[in-house]
Structure 1
Amino acid sequence: MKSLLTSAILFSLIIFTSCQTETKSETQNNDLSAKLDNVVSQASDQYKYLMGILPENRFPKTYHADQDRLETSNSGWWCSGFYPGSLLYMYEQNQDATLLSEAKRIMKVLEKEKLNTTTHDLGFMMFCSFGNALDIAPEEDYKDILIQSAKSLSTRFDEKVGLIKSWDSKEGDYLVIIDNMMNLELLFWASEETGDTTYRDIAITHADNTIKNHFREDYSTYHVVNYNPQTGEVNKKHTAQGYADESAWARGQAWGLYGYIVMYRFTKDEKYLELANNIASFLLDHPNLPADKIPYWDFDAPNIPDALRDSSAGAILASALFELSTYVESDKSEKYFQNAETMLTSLSSEPYLAETKTNGGFILKHGVGHIPENTEVDTPLSYGDYYFLEAIKRYKNLSK
């Protein structure tokens, strides 16, 4: 009888503890969701402020606080799609017609880039803008714009090398950067929309050759691989924006993770999911990942823990990990979700979240663009804002 009583008490304690844990978890989710509602509202005010200082037909690039100067670009800059994409993500959440109107206005300026064959970044430029618009506020011509963009991007694929060329360079170079994985989503969409498998085949070939040559044994990635355009053999592996050729540049690792999650989403090929899991393990188990989960600009930066953080890398990682958490078993799913949640919580607070009418109208502070060239160092970045808003959207969808 005593044994039965003890067992009953223990069972009751387990149930009570489980309920308490679940209640605590639900409370934390509700608290963060409420906070994120306020963040989106504040972000919308920021972008309305940005709209007021943005020159006509220009795109926000970054802000120089020491000079109180907004730096902008034309539509051909690789980041041009992030501004309308961010506006659309905010409109989707709060239905503020002012944001949608501005997104439509600036996309008219961006549209001509559908014919641009000089860049590998048409996925960033056109799918983050028109691709999102097709889901959130569709217009009749958006599909045609995106199909033409995919055609233009496909012209940069060389069958001999088996990769989409990233940067044009001198004769004898064929430069491919890990960032290029992010532009393949446009090609998959185009195949699904048109029934033409050519786009999909290009994306898969590019991704498979990137696996062969971009990744190290520990699943960190090189930034740049230079191929011989005649033979397809590797000339050199190096970095442009990281600390050193053999270092792990944080945003490059994020691009790689996100890119192979997209590959798994469209193909359901387990090799892409396995690679994504291995990249995630490298990042999340790395001894140099800070407690708030916002990475240093390079995991091998020489002055850690005093090295600059990169909020843009944190935003990309958070968004990627939320999606990855939906494809894996429960233990990994929980790990990915909790790490992404921590990243999102950190970015939604000081020192990363900017106050209204500061930071040039950008949402996040402390992004790192290109330290080796001393450009966009510890500044806001348009892609940081975009992936932060995407991470918020994904978190909310998963927390419903």
Structure 2
Amino acid sequence: MTSTPPSECEVSDAIVSSFQVSTPVADLVPELYTENIIAKALRTAQAALGALPASFPEIVPQEEGRDGSYSLREADFWTCGFFPGTLYSLLERLIKYPQSVQLPDSVNLGDLRNQLTTLCRAWSEPIRGMDGRTDTHDIGFIVMPALRADWELFGNSCSLDSIVKAARSLATRYVASAKAIRSWDLLKKKDIEILDQNDNMIVIIDSMCNLDLMYYAAHHAQDPTLSDMATAHAVTLLQSHLRPEPVFSSSKDAYSGQWYSSCHVANIDPKTGDLKLRLSAQGYDHDSTWSRGQAWGILGYAETYMWTKHHRFLEAACGMAEYFLYRLESAPGCVIQGRYVPLWDFDAPIENEQNPLRDSSAGVIAANGMLILSQALASIDQPNLSTRFRKAAMQIVQDTLSFALAPEKAILATGQYQHIRAEEAIPGHRFDSMLKFGTANNNANARKRYANHGLVYGDYYLVEFGNRLLRMGLC
């Protein structure tokens, strides 16, 4: 890399020092289970229902003059699966962990569960119809958040069938000679165009999080070719995307193996698998570390390890997670409040020291990956490192809630015939996303550059983090 971290300081013990073993985890992040979280999702589900199947929620702009509602995006955009997934994650809480849900006395749990079930089915139906798409590598992001939950909660075989079909659709993008799955068919930016697929194969770090679809379908359909493709892809990206970094910490608690940053995009020779070029489409520049890309890598390699138990994937995830924590801790001095809410790109210049540009979604994505790492490390008798990543994940989410949780809260109310609706806690103060300060794409040469907004996948991974804690028995 040409860009360097702000300083070569050791990773601070402050990442973990604020947590005491005796502190109940739920008490550290109580906002994850409030009425506000359910109310915001319910309101959007009811308000945007009429846009189906053509449009799905994507962002909530923060600038003045906007009404605080979700802006909708065309249904074939890669983010379409996250809002249905958020609804199902909340439904999972109501069904499996009702003790975690904070509801007003006027709202009946059973009525809310039935109403949310109806909305989940309405929002998932268009997703099920996308399972045959071969034009995108993001089919995992599209189908898994909602359809996996629909299958696991209700045993809906149609959803499992769609998952398997979607995995086989993704498999059509696998290029055997390169041992990887093609991410994008082309890349068109103001400063670069890659259009020829015969000599170019564009692969992005985000693709690691679509492998979960391949493994899940492989096991349910008893089709090992799907898992073989996923594993080959993960191995290829170890070389094409991961960049070794110095180990900046001598702390006995930190991961002592190789640390890694990640590029966003790699152009691979489809005939040989050789790396031709590394670049960025959404980060600051080609050599920088785009924080959400780093987060996708942490989560994707952690998930891949859990499926395969291959230690090279665990080592990759640990190395990426440790570097992510280092960059949070060694951020410039102007990043004081919300230190663990990542800058949108760890190497981008700070243009506004009073309000440095962040990406709250990157933090909660990385935190989900670190929770998986914690489980993985505990299972192989590495309790210290397991505890470190669990506590680091909690610190990130705790800081995110303190810094980025939208102050415009929503509440639940019961109307005629026990119909439950959501409304502003303070009339006239609306913001439909749970988190603020997301950055979808701030690359100067992107065809669409937009930042500082609520992001649908930021909300999804925030809710999913709360569910992971519940599944782990930590709440």
| TM-score, reference length from structure 1 | 0.89
Alignment-derived partner of residue 77 in structure 1: 77
1:100 aligns with 2:117: yes
Q: Which residue of 2 is the match for residue 388 of structure 1? A: 462
Tell me how far 1:35 sits from its aligned partner.
4.0
Which residue in 2 is equivalent to 1:288? 331
Greater RCO between the two (CA within 8 Å, min separation 6)? 2
CA contact (8 A) 2:363 2:396 kept: yes
Aligned 8 A contact 2:173 2:182 in 1: yes
| d(CA) in 1 for partners of 2:271, 2:230 | 21
Task: Indicate yes or no: 2:425 matched with 1:369.
Answer: no
- Residue 225 of structure 1 corresponds to 266
In 1: Cα distance, 2:87 partner to 2:273 partner: 41
Alignment partners' CA distance in 1, 2:405 and 2:29: 18
Check 1:34–1:241 CA distance in 2 against 1; reply closer, same or farther (3 A cut): closer
1:16 equivalent in structure 2: none
Q: Does 2:56 align with 1:59?
A: yes
More helix by share: 1
Secondary structure in 2 aligned to 1:368? strand
Is the 8 Å Cα contact of residues 227 and 233 (structure 1) preserved in structure 2?
yes
SS in 2 for 1:115: coil
Q: Distance in 2 between matches of 1:194 and 1:70?
A: 37
SS in 2 for 1:208: helix
Structure 2 distance, partners of 1:271, 1:24, is 31
The SS at the match of 1:63 is: strand
Name which of structure 1's ranges 113-122 and 285-294 shifts more when overlaid on structure 2: 285-294
Kindly indicate whether residue 42 of structure 2 is the aligned counterpart of residue 48 of structure 1. yes
1:318 aligns with 2:367: yes
Following superposition of structure 1 onto structure 2, how do residues 285-364 of structure 1 map, counting pairs within 5 Å? Answer: 285-286=326-327, 287-288=330-331, 292-303=339-350, 306-328=355-377, 329-355=382-408, 356=410, 357=424, 360-364=431-435
Question: Residue 174 of structure 1 contacts residue 227 of structure 1 at CA under 8 Å; is this kept in 2?
Answer: yes
Is the 1:297–1:368 Cα contact (8 Å) retained in structure 2? Answer: yes
One-letter code aligned to 2:331 = N
Corresponding residue of 1:210: 237
What is the deviation of 1:195? Answer: 1.3
1:52 is displaced (CA, Å) by: 3.4
How far apart are the structure 2 equivalents of 1:89 and 1:323? 17
Task: Measure, in 2, the Cα distance between the counterparts of 1:314 and 1:341.
Answer: 11
1:354 Cα deviation from its structure 2 partner: 4.5
SS for the counterpart of 1:380 is: strand
Does the CA-based 8 Å contact 1:227-1:235 persist in structure 2?
A: yes
Please state how far the C-alpha of 1:210 moved relative to its aligned partner.
0.5
Question: What do the CA deviations read for 1:316-355 (whole angstroms, capped 9, x no partner)?
Answer: 0111111111122122112111111112212333433342
Partner residue in 2 for 1:255: 296
Aligned to 2:104: none
CA deviation vs aligned residue, 1:224-282 (integer Å, no higher than 9, x gap): 00122333322211000001111000000000011110111001111111111111111
CA distance in 1, matches of 2:372, 2:51: 36
Evaluate the alpha carbon distance shift between residue 28 and residue 184 of structure 1 in structure 2; reply closer, same or farther with a 3 A threshold.
Answer: same
Give the unaligned 5+ runs of structure 2. 1-16, 96-112, 187-194, 246-259, 411-423
Aligned residues: 378
Closer, same or farther: CA 177–359 of 1 in aligned 2, 3 Å: farther
Task: Say if 1:311 and 1:352, in contact at 8 Å, map to a contact too.
Answer: no
Contact 1:160 1:230 in 2 (8 A): yes
Instruction: Determine the structure 2 residue equivalent to 1:379.
Output: 453
Which range is displaced more, 232-241 or 296-305? 296-305
3-state SS of 1:285 partner: helix
AA aligned opposite 2:390:
F
* TM-score where L is the length of structure 2: 0.75
What percent identity do the matched residue pairs reach? Answer: 29
In structure 2, what is the Cα distance between the partners aligned to 1:94 and 1:300?
41
Query: Runs (4+) of structure 1 moved beyond 6 Å?
Result: none
Kept after mapping to 1: 8 A contact 2:29/2:398: no
Partner of 2:33: 37
* Separation in 1, partners of 2:21, 2:176: 51
Higher mean displacement: 365-374 or 51-60: 51-60
Cα distance, 1:129 vs structure 2 = 1.6
Query: 1:137 maps to which residue?
Result: 154
Query: Which amino acid letter does the alignment assign opposite residue 86 of structure 2?
Result: S
Q: Which amino acid aligns with 1:89?
A: S
By how many angstroms is 1:393 displaced? Answer: 1.2
Q: Which amino acid aligns with 1:361?
A: D
Give the drift of 1:48: 1.8
